[in-house]
Structure 1
Amino acid sequence: MADFYCESCVKFYCGECVNMHNKLFTKHASFGIGDMKKWPVAKKVEDFLLKCEVQKDESLKMYCDEHSELCCTKCAFLKHRYIVSSF
């Protein structure tokens, strides 16, 4: 289980392994569970969060000001024609 993330190595470490890592790489910044906001989001999670709920094969690429929601280009054309901007 990951307890630390090293930004320089781009790797996760358990509490035991991070001690050796920190001895070997004194200038690397490692972030513990308390600093999880500095950990990267896994690519699979990011892809899942950016998928359209209606058009399962489309990614969210636009924002509808009128409905205050993200949408894919297909939904933007079909349901959000008037006030849409890309992000």
Structure 2
Amino acid sequence: MDRHIAAQLATADAVRSWDDRRTAGEVTSVTYANGLLGVARDEEAARLAIVKYRPRDDRESRLKLTYMAAYLIATRGTLDANEMNLVLE
């Protein structure tokens, strides 16, 4: 979860930085998109690591479900069917 939170913060920082650079004309739209794609992939990998994580006990199960619920509420996102099955296993 710490890795995912760090990846989310890095994504937000990168978006702000790349937006500033694009606005200032320092980078092209293609460079901007590629830069954001890299941090988005890091965030996705960290999120998938949480989805695939197998809790060792009830406490970890509750923590995982709480974290995923908070993440989905905050991002207004969804899980695909495979991710949902992994979370609930």
Q: Indicate the TM-score class for this superposition, using the shorter chain for normalisation.
A: under 0.3
Q: Higher strand fraction: Structure 1 or Structure 2?
A: 1
Q: Higher helix fraction: Structure 1 or Structure 2?
A: 2
Q: Comparing both chains, which one has the higher relative contact order based on Cα–Cα distances under 8 Å and sequence gaps of 6 or more?
A: 2
Which protein has the larger Cα radius of gyration, Structure 1 or Structure 2? 1
The TM-score with structure 2 as length reference comes to 0.28
